[in-house]
C-alpha cells in the first residue's frame, strides 16, 4: 500500500511542477502597455518569479519524499521480526 501512496504523491508533485512551470509562459497582463526595455524587464521578472516558485515546489517535494522515506524506515523497523 505504501508504494501506491508514494507513487500518488510523486504524480501529484510532478503535475504541480508542470502546472507551475506552464503558468509562467505567455504574455503577462501586468506587462501590457510596456515597450522596449521596460517590457523586457517585466518579462524577465516574471520568469524569475516562475523559477523561484518551481524551485520552492521542488524543495517541498524533496522534503515530502524525505519524510515519507523516514516514516517508511521507522515503520519497517518497528514491524521487523525479532532475532532469537
* pTM assigned to the model: 0.78
Ramachandran sector of residue 35 (left: φ over 0; alpha: ψ -120 to 50; beta: rest): beta
Ordered per-residue pLDDT tens for the chain, 84 residues: 888 999 999 999 999 999 999 987 766 677 778 888 888 888 888 888 889 999 999 999 999 999 999 999 998 888 888 776
Compute the half-sphere exposure of residue 37: CA atoms within 13 Å on the CB side of its CA.
Answer: 0
Amino acid at each position: 500500500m505504501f508504494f501506491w501512496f508514494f507513487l500518488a504523491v510523486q504524480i501529484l508533485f510532478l503535475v504541480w511542477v508542470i502546472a507551475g512551470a506552464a503558468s509562467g509562459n505567455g504574455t503577462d497582463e501586468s506587462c501590457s502597455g510596456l515597450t522596449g526595455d521596460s517590457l523586457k524587464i517585466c518579462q524577465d521578472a516574471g520568469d524569475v518569479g516562475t523559477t523561484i516558485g518551481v524551485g520552492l515546489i521542488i524543495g517541498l517535494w524533496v522534503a515530502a519524499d524525505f519524510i515519507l522515506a523516514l516514516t517508511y524506515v521507522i515503520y519497517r523497523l518497528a514491524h521487523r521480526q525479532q532475532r532469537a
